[in-house]
Amino acid sequence: MRLLFIADIVGQPGRRAVKELVPRLRQQLAIHMVIANGENAAGGSGITPKTAEEIFLGGVDVITTGDHVWDQKEVVGLLENERRCIRPLNYPAGVPGRGSTLFQPPGMPTLAVMNLQGRTFMPPIDSPFQAALAEVDRLRQQTKIIFVDFHAEATSEKVAMARMLDGLVSAVVGTHTHVQTADEQIFPGGTAFLCDGGFTGPHESVIGREIDPIIRRFLTNMPQRFEVAQERILLQGALVDIDEQNGRAVSIRRISEPLTPAR
């Protein structure tokens, strides 16, 4: 099974990259399933039913999120009614939505997608480590193929999570920092790992936002309006090949695909 994971989609430029690039990539790379982090899809912060539908129509099968999942009030209905859109698993009991989902690509075995959120330099939340162990145990009763989007800030937290889950899940790819790392590898137990997939959107920017307001904020510490930038759009993430029989990763490679400007 070949899986494409698309890192943090940022605003309209990121959604456009999905719409224009994913259909071609699916065909060109013989991809069976596409997962995308959409927590910054709506105006650069949060996600709505409308932006989620746009992402699904672009060729994405499952949407994950992160700490900005609650930024748009319409998200509650989306999480309650759309099983293909999940929020971090380690929120307290009773929070709307779910932290994992099952999806079966055409002609392929069922795959589980799990979303976690870190705690280091992040908003307070339940332990992702305890939550992950319990949920993986439950999911492995249904499938050996499990993909994890770990939305976290600290490198050490991401590596520790992947090491803990080595041999229990097929892949752990980090999101949140919007900076693609160069540490893709397969651990001894067969789990593919990439510390951060980067982001899908405008890279002539400061992690997706217009440059000048960010600099002014650092210079003055005064509030600024951080608009989504528009130039040099890239679709970033990871391509993972998984053995369908045992759920072990066969390969992982980074993706950084430019959206060619219209002529």
Active centre residues (catalytic): 68
Q: How far apart are CA 215 and CA 217, in angstroms?
A: 5
Rg (C-alpha) for the chain, rounded Å, is 17
Q: How far apart are CA 113 and CA 136, in angstroms?
A: 10
Q: How far apart are CA 40 and CA 210, in angstroms?
A: 15
Structure tokens at 256: 């950084």
